[in-house]
Chains A and B, each alone.
Chain A
Amino acid sequence: MEDKKRLEEFEARIQRGEKIEPKDWMPERYRKQLIRMISQHAHSEVVGMLPEGNWITRAPSLRRKLVLLAKVQDEAGHGLYLYSAAETLGVDRQELIEQLLEGKAKYSNIFNYPTLTWADIGVIGWLVDGAAIVNQTMLAKSSYGPYSRAMIRICKEENFHKRQGYEIVATMAKGTPEQKKMVQDAVNRWWWPSLMMFGPHDTDSPNSGELLRWKVKTKTNDELRQRFVNLTVPQAHAVGLTIPDPDLKYNPETGNWEFGEIDWDEFWRVIKGDGPCNRERMRARRKAHEEGAWVREAAAAYAAKHGMKSRVA
């Protein structure tokens, strides 16, 4: 069959809302875009374990410790689901991880910011997971079957992440003066990076058109960002927190909370590697990977030596 005809059929399937499965014909561009997007998403989950993991041993109660540990563990699990989804497109996890460790792959900018106080754990759960959920709810409708299924599972599991974050924020916001100061400071630091999580303006997003046409994404960056702001501002006000944006105002006609301009210089700088923690996060990932090499090798050697049912591959 001609590629042109195949492409038409492929796009017609997408228009009908059918899911594309791993063995189905797909344009090379679609495959490449998906590998790029899914692996970036997987890397983000894995790198995202670091800033929050930083507070597990210092959680202020045993209950908070269990919840945080379970949440960071979920992120490892979600990274795993996503790498698996990417692997259905014909890449090895090994290769994707190498791309990350060699600095060739991107991951969400947000994890290049530091967690300085316990309030950051609450605010990350509330804002960062909140933004992720807005994004992921949309991706659960993605046209690629394995990605969509991974997202449905992830959305279900992440339901508690945002709630636990907001619970910490609300508790601190009605706590002692020091706690109030801590939580407002965390909101001030995380608000703008959270808005950046949705990516550049639609007009500056080179991949957006194609991704929307192929229903890998079903909403634009700016639509999702607006939805996030509309959901979040009332939540901040409900616990007496201030959003660090002097331009923020409610538009009763559109029902939108209009907000100020994002510092796009900062956005692009951090993406290109010049954020507060880029180098540190990569160093931590590389260290874990390198120090784990002898373990992975030993297990493989043991399996080979004992002729275990692993050598089918």
Chain B
Amino acid sequence: MKLDKQTQSDLFDYLLRLGDDRLILGHRVSEWCGHGPILEEDIALSNIALDLIGQSINFLSLAGKVEGQGRTEDDLAYHRDALDFKNLMLVEQPNGDFGFTMVRQFLFDAYSLLLMEALQASELKELAAIAGKALKEVRYHLRHSSQWVLRLGDGTEESHRRVQNALDDLWMYTREMFESDEVEQRLVQKGIAVDSTSLKSGWESMVFQILKQATLEIPGEQGYYSSGSRQGIHTEHLGYILADMQFLPRAYPDAKW
């Protein structure tokens, strides 16, 4: 990989975004293990968490190689603090009830599907390959989460109320998925990255269709939208995730596990 200094630094940052989204969401989903609404769903949620963490390993490991300082995926996962995490705020939100988790997953899966599809055309072969592999998994995740949004939205009065609430609570975290910045734009110019703004209309048509079918009301455009996680600004929840996740390697810096 021969990259100029600017591209190297941009790409490192971009790969952290991709890796951190999946690491943090995988962490959240893994919290369900043993606590799902039915045994079959425990197994499904574990599969999704395994896929997400697996994807994050691929992106973070490539990030480490691009950076060229010898940092591994574990170094990046366990030895960065909140300001250096670049994941979307959406994925760090606490699980809530099963409906909340499914809505969060659905909103992310639809975005992830479009992004992985587009990244397959990246000029950076390693990145295109990782995206291609992830895409197969994401297709299944989206099938799972959208089927659940349909059932819960159009199930009972209680389930409808719960997922409508979840949707209203999470909506403010959706817009930053489609925000671009200089880092991304420079990589778009080089044919490496995908312009996030280009994903919005595809996402909306996919998401709106399922939400309508699920008899859910799409939240209005007027409300507050969070922004800034790609620059390291997060909600209060990320710190606790990191405290939990990073505890052992931080407490015993010399130990191998």
Residues of A bordering B, CB below 8 Å: 46, 49-50, 53, 56-66, 69-70, 72-73, 76-77, 79-80, 83, 118, 168, 171-172, 175-176, 178-179, 284, 287-288, 291-299, 301-302, 305-306
Q: How far is the CA of A56 from the CA of B41 in the complex (A)?
A: 17
A57 touches B156 (CB 8 A): no
B34 touches A297 (CB 8 A): no
Q: How far is the CA of A56 from the CA of B47 in the complex (A)?
A: 14
**20 A-B contacts (beta carbon < 8 Å):** A49-B42, A53-B35, A58-B244, A58-B245, A61-B74, A61-B257, A62-B53, A66-B53, A69-B46, A69-B50, A73-B47, A83-B39, A176-B252, A294-B156, A294-B159, A295-B38, A295-B99, A298-B152, A301-B155, A301-B156
B33 touches A49 (CB 8 A): yes
Q: How far is the CA of A287 from the CA of B39 in the complex (A)?
A: 14
Q: Which of B4-53 contact A (CB under 8 A)?
A: 23, 27, 30-31, 33-43, 46-47, 49-50, 53
B255 touches A62 (CB 8 A): no
Q: A295 is contacted by which of B43, B159, B254, B257 (Cβ under 8 Å)?
A: B159
Q: A62 is contacted by which of B34, B40, B57, B156 (Cβ under 8 Å)?
A: B57
Q: How far is the CA of A80 from the CA of B46 in the complex (A)?
A: 14
Q: How far is the CA of A62 from the CA of B27 in the complex (A)?
A: 11
| Whole-angstrom distance between the Cβ of A109 and the nearest chain B Cβ | 18
Q: How far is the CA of A58 from the CA of B244 in the complex (A)?
A: 6
CB neighbours (8 Å) of B33 from chain A are 49, 53, 56, 69, 72-73, 76
Given A58-B244, A66-B53, also A299-B31 (CB < 8 A): no
Q: A288 is contacted by which of B34, B40, B46, B78 (Cβ under 8 Å)?
A: B34
B98 touches A292 (CB 8 A): yes
Q: How far is the CA of A61 from the CA of B249 in the complex (A)?
A: 8
Number of A-B contacts (CB under 8 A): 142
B154 touches A302 (CB 8 A): yes
A175 touches B77 (CB 8 A): no
Q: Which of B144-190 contact A (CB under 8 A)?
A: 150-152, 154-156, 158-159, 162
Given A62-B73, A176-B255, also A57-B244 (CB < 8 A): yes
Given A62-B57, A176-B252, also A72-B46 (CB < 8 A): yes
Q: B37 is contacted by which of A62, A76, A288 (Cβ under 8 Å)?
A: A288
CB neighbours (8 Å) of B42 from chain A are 49, 73, 76
Q: How far is the CA of A69 from the CA of B48 in the complex (A)?
A: 11
CB neighbours (8 Å) of A176 from chain B are 252, 254-255
B257 touches A60 (CB 8 A): yes
User: What are the interface flags for B86-116 relative to A under an 8 Å C-beta threshold, 1 for contact and 0 otherwise?
Assistant: 0000000000011100000000000000000
Quick check: is B54 within 8 A (CB to CB) of the other chain?
yes
CB neighbours (8 Å) of B47 from chain A are 73
| Whole-angstrom distance between the Cβ of B74 and the nearest chain A Cβ | 5
CB neighbours (8 Å) of A178 from chain B are 252, 255
| Whole-angstrom distance between the Cβ of A307 and the nearest chain B Cβ | 13
CB neighbours (8 Å) of A302 from chain B are 150-151, 154-155
Quick check: is B256 within 8 A (CB to CB) of the other chain?
yes
Residue of A nearest to B43 (CB): A76
Quick check: is B124 within 8 A (CB to CB) of the other chain?
no
A62 touches B74 (CB 8 A): yes
Q: Which of B199-257 contact A (CB under 8 A)?
A: 241, 244-245, 247-249, 252, 254-257
Residue of A nearest to B28 (CB): A57
CB neighbours (8 Å) of B120 from chain A are none
Q: A284 is contacted by which of B35, B39, B73 (Cβ under 8 Å)?
A: B35
CB neighbours (8 Å) of B122 from chain A are none
| Whole-angstrom distance between the Cβ of A76 and the nearest chain B Cβ | 4
Residue of A nearest to B54 (CB): A66
CB neighbours (8 Å) of B255 from chain A are 60, 175-176, 178-179
Q: How far is the CA of A49 from the CA of B41 in the complex (A)?
A: 14
Q: Given A56-B33, A66-B50, A79-B39, 18 more contacts at CB 8 Å?
A: A53-B34, A53-B35, A62-B57, A65-B30, A66-B57, A69-B49, A72-B46, A73-B43, A76-B34, A118-B257, A176-B254, A292-B41, A295-B98, A295-B99, A297-B159, A298-B152, A302-B154, A302-B155
Q: How far is the CA of A70 from the CA of B244 in the complex (A)?
A: 19
Q: A171 is contacted by which of B41, B77, B257 (Cβ under 8 Å)?
A: B257
B245 touches A57 (CB 8 A): yes
Q: How far is the CA of A176 from the CA of B255 in the complex (A)?
A: 6
CB neighbours (8 Å) of B37 from chain A are 288, 291-293, 295-296
A73 touches B40 (CB 8 A): no
Given A64-B257, A72-B46, also A298-B39 (CB < 8 A): no
CB neighbours (8 Å) of A66 from chain B are 50, 53-54, 57
CB neighbours (8 Å) of A56 from chain B are 30-31, 33
